[in-house]
Amino acid sequence: MLPIKFLTIHCAATPEGRDNTAAEVSAWDVERFGQVSYHWVIELDGNMVRTLADNVRGAHTGKANTGNIGICYVGGTAKLNAGGKPKDTRTAAQKLALKTLILQYQAQYPGIVVRGHRDWPGVAKACPSFDVAAWMRAGMPS
């Protein structure tokens, strides 16, 4: 898994306001991929749950998981009655938690490249339902 070169932001593609836990997200991943996908899951209240150690390869970015830390926030789609379309549903607490993790990884791994899942070549999904680069350029506001 080492060296760490990338950090990829994801959403769980769950409806806005639905309070899924990190354990639920991990269970879905085990069912679908045979393993936990993300290194961190950020719950609605901003609770940062470590789900994989940094030296363990996740299953979150196709064939680009080696050296890549995956962080997933609960949410990412509009409420079901609104069609479940991609939407930046991050709470202020989730934004603060995400900023905290990004800053920690940038300090630990200088030069780490931070991307949204959709920013990887060949990815045709909206995940994480917001523009990571623009949010970071704006100072990662809550």
The amino acid sitting at 140 is M
As a 3-state breakdown, the chain gives helix, strand, coil percent values, each rounded to 5, of 30, 20, 50
- Digit-coded pLDDT (tens) for 28-82: 999 999 999 999 999 999 999 999 999 999 999 998 999 999 999 999 999 876 6
Q: Does the structure show a pLDDT above 90 at 104?
A: yes
Distance CA 70, CA 61 (A): 8
Q: How high is the mean pLDDT of the chain?
A: 95
Token representation of residue 132: 């990571």
Nearest to 123 by CA among 53, 46, 62: 62
Token representation of residue 128: 């994480």
Q: Taking the model in full, what pTM does it have?
A: 0.96
